[in-house]
Amino acid sequence: MSLFIRSVTHRVLFALLLLSSGHLSRAQTIRYVRQGATGAGTSWTDASGNPQAMITASATGNQVWVAAGTYQPASGQSFSMKEGVKIYGGFPSTGNPAMTDRQWTIQTTILQGNGSQVITNNNNGLTVAALLDGFTVKGGVSVQYGGGMYNNNASPTVANCTFSGNTATSTNFRLSSPAYGGGMCNMTSSPTVVNCIFSGNSITGLGTGGFGGGFYSNSPITLTGCLFSGNKVTGMAPGSGTGFGGGIYVTGALTLINCTVAGNQASGSGSGSKGGGVYVSAALTMANSIVYGNTCATNPEVYSSTSSVIYSLIKNITTAVNGNLDGATDPLFTNPVAATSAPTTTGNYQLPLCSPAVNVGDNSKIPSSFTTDVTGASRILQSVTDMGAYENTGFTLPAAANEVNATPGDCLMGNWHHFYNPTGNKLVLAVNSANVTISSLTITGKLNDKYGAGLVNMLNTPFGISKNLYPLNRSWTVVASTAPTGNVAVRFFFNSQDSLDLAMTSSFSGQLSNLILYKVEGTDAYNTAATGYIEYSYAATADLSHYTLGYFQGLRYAEFQVSSFSSGTLALSSPVILPLRLIRFDASSTHCVANLEWVTADEKNVARFELQSSTDALSYTTATVVAASNASGEQKHQLVLPITAPDTYYRLKMIDQDGQTTYSQVLRLISNCVTDIITTYPNPAGKRVYIRGAEAGETFHLYDNTGKTVRSGIIGSSNHEVSLQDLVPGIYYMTVEKSGALIKNSKVMLVD
């Protein structure tokens, strides 16, 4: 490094340190508030009792920490936020708490109205840098505009807050005197609202009506992770009193992400009421959200001119496309309250374990900064987010080699009883209650951690099956004290990892419909003393000899019917074994190409090998075909292939001369190579080949099909020439590297 470069670098670092130090000094200015305190706010022991005084004294970059308690402005006054100041509630009321001690759902910090709006931000220049986080805003009253919070030309960030019991009322029947937004009213404002609850707020419009019992905005807005429940709008003017948007009213575009709108009501004495849950005059966009159980005269759930709804549920509106749940689906809220009871703060709109809205959202629609639900719990507890404002753990599958007693947990959805172990919510089996007394069943699920040779023949000899079986490591057992009165539908649950495990230890061909479901007579599907079995194959309709495939909360299930209960599992029936003996099959990577090698014995009467690859261990394509040697003794075959994905699965399809086939085990090759494709031309090539798509200074390597480097050098131009003189005809692989990492590759065919 030259002296000049070092000097510049040091100046840059010094400048960055100065900027960083200045930022830290501002961020470290914290003012403390505790109910009843009389200090200057410099620490918890010197805390102030006046949050507004601390907000006013703060500058951009400062923070105000407010302990649990109730705080009111002076009579007829409101609190006001300040640009660049972050205001946090939810700290313990005693001790010397840190930020990590904050629990706003338990240590409630209340901003209580006192004859006016609780918070008024009127032309005070607020942007997203102004934050209100972790408060309950309640008891606000207003003439027309926003009982809880009123934003006029102010767009702060509001997170983890509850707005409840706030009202806005117009004072007379003049046409110019409607009421807006009981919980929050936004005029020419687009605040960022995340993980907030609007519950039990109301507006009464004596003029042209009321708009937005819980929330109102006359500008486009996005609401993320919020609950709107038990809010009410009433329009009372004779002949003209309209009530629009019991939960939400927006005159611009509205986007809802992971929101729940339920139990809200809109009513009107004049031209009626519309949008009991949501009223949007422009476009509505919804993802991972639920609008259910609201009421009004017209469009009780949603009123919107246009809408784009994905991975959501709107009662009686959505159909089962674009990830949506059918509108007839009940989300099974824990304790919903009738919308006619609004305004009310009662009701519990969390999703229970067996809700069909659990684990069926779209993770890609969640902003990267949105990591918790409305309770502060992790937003994605399993691999897939839930619909709505609350996240439930959802069901999982047993993951340890032990007996899982599923009897204690019975999650009912329709006629389906989902039996699971409450410790970890481990789901085993579901039984339809038609034709069977559920209370007479004892249900267990067994997990066996033995794969490969330990299980291959486990289901062979006892049943006279003339083929090997590769069963899943999970099985069920049902013992009934009362016999069913007819055929009973049953669902056996498994996941993609089960399929992958099976593929890694057997000749699994990649299609789940190739699996066979075995119901074994006895109390253990792996019991070699069992006396018989029933074999179910895949079909479009489940019956006593066929199963269907489906999904529940992101888990796969095989649904079948039984006339009596015992035990069973899913298994793969292996193909007829060829005379060929595969001694070993190996995969490794060198220079970001895959080296595949296999050794056989007794290769006579074998026609060819097809080397197949996959990126998901389910769908395979043939990468290349290799002719069999048809010689006695051990035979070795080697191939190199360019790596085109970071995670690749390989298997051999071995075909004899009569057309019979069998498969090798599946090999998995993980690589951190980046693999853009360069162009090599002409291809097939003769005495030279040109590289297009590489940059000057990058390094190229040419490998033969054994992985040996036969050419290498530095790229000199955008059409770099590589001599192939003296190389034998065949398949070669070209790679281009930069700083030692593969960035591009290509296959080259050399001919005479």
With cut-offs at 50, 70 and 90, classify the pLDDT of residue 405: low
Structure tokens at 224: 């993320």
Looking at residue 68, its pLDDT comes to 96
Do 420 and 472 sit in the same domain of this protein? yes
Do 445 and 535 sit in the same domain of this protein? yes
- CATH of residue 555's domain is 2.60.220
| pLDDT reading at 501 higher than 70 | no
- CATH of residue 596's domain is 2.60.40.10
- CATH of residue 733's domain is 2.60.40.3080
Query: What percent of the chain has a predicted confidence (pLDDT) above 70?
Result: 80
Q: Which domain holds residue 281?
A: 133-394
Do 599 and 745 sit in the same domain of this protein? no
Looking at residue 142, its pLDDT comes to 92
| pLDDT reading at 270 higher than 80 | no
**Is 172 a member of any domain?**
yes
Classify residue 303 as left (phi > 0), alpha (psi -120 to 50) or beta.
beta
Worst-scoring range by mean pLDDT, 254-268, 470-484, 734-748? 734-748
**Is 505 a member of any domain?**
yes
Do 374 and 512 sit in the same domain of this protein? no
For 127, 154, 177, 725, the CA distances from 123, given in Å and listed in that order, are 11, 6, 22, 78
Do 168 and 267 sit in the same domain of this protein? yes
> Which domain-ending residue is among 348, 374, 394?
394
> Which domain-ending residue is among 670, 693, 716?
670
As a whole number of angstroms, the distance between CA 94 and CA 77 comes to 28
| pLDDT reading at 598 higher than 80 | yes
**Is 354 a member of any domain?**
yes
Do 500 and 478 sit in the same domain of this protein? yes
Do 549 and 566 sit in the same domain of this protein? yes
Looking at residue 1, its pLDDT comes to 29
Query: What percent of the chain has a predicted confidence (pLDDT) above 90?
Result: 43
DSSP per residue, 642-683: E--SSEEEEEEEEEETTS-EEE---EEEE-----EEPEEESS
| pLDDT reading at 308 higher than 70 | yes
Looking at residue 313, its pLDDT comes to 97
Residue 718 in contact with residue 695, Cβ under 8 Å?
yes
Cα torsion 203, 204, 205, 210: sign = positive
Q: What share of the chain is helix, strand, coil (3-state, %, to 5)?
A: 10, 45, 50
With cut-offs at 50, 70 and 90, classify the pLDDT of residue 747: low
How many domains does one find in the chain?
A: 5
Do 493 and 548 sit in the same domain of this protein? yes
Classify residue 419 as left (phi > 0), alpha (psi -120 to 50) or beta.
beta
**Is 16 a member of any domain?**
no
In this prediction, residues 352-356 reach a mean pLDDT of 86
Residue 603 in contact with residue 628, Cβ under 8 Å?
yes
Looking at residue 443, its pLDDT comes to 85
Read off the pLDDT of residues 366-389 as tens digits, 9 standing for 90 and up: 998 888 999 998 898 777 899 999
* Residue, of 470 and 123, whose pLDDT is higher: 123
* Residue, of 194 and 352, whose pLDDT is higher: 194
pTM of the complete model: 0.66
> Which domain-ending residue is among 526, 552, 573?
573
Do 604 and 686 sit in the same domain of this protein? no
**Is 127 a member of any domain?**
no
Do 424 and 523 sit in the same domain of this protein? yes
* Residue, of 228 and 745, whose pLDDT is higher: 228
Chain mean position to CA 319: 21
Looking at residue 97, its pLDDT comes to 94
Read off the pLDDT of residues 77-115 as tens digits, 9 standing for 90 and up: 999 999 999 999 999 999 999 999 999 999 999 999 999
Do 518 and 371 sit in the same domain of this protein? no
With cut-offs at 50, 70 and 90, classify the pLDDT of residue 412: confident
In this prediction, residues 562-579 reach a mean pLDDT of 72
**Is 425 a member of any domain?**
yes
Chain mean position to CA 112: 37
Helix-then-strand count for the chain, H and E: 4, 62
As a whole number of angstroms, the distance between CA 308 and CA 598 comes to 53
With cut-offs at 50, 70 and 90, classify the pLDDT of residue 451: very low
| pLDDT reading at 738 higher than 50 | yes
In this prediction, residues 663-672 reach a mean pLDDT of 74
**Is 103 a member of any domain?**
no
**Is 17 a member of any domain?**
no
Residue 181 in contact with residue 202, Cβ under 8 Å?
no
As a whole number of angstroms, the distance between CA 130 and CA 35 comes to 23
| pLDDT reading at 267 higher than 50 | yes
Do 389 and 282 sit in the same domain of this protein? yes
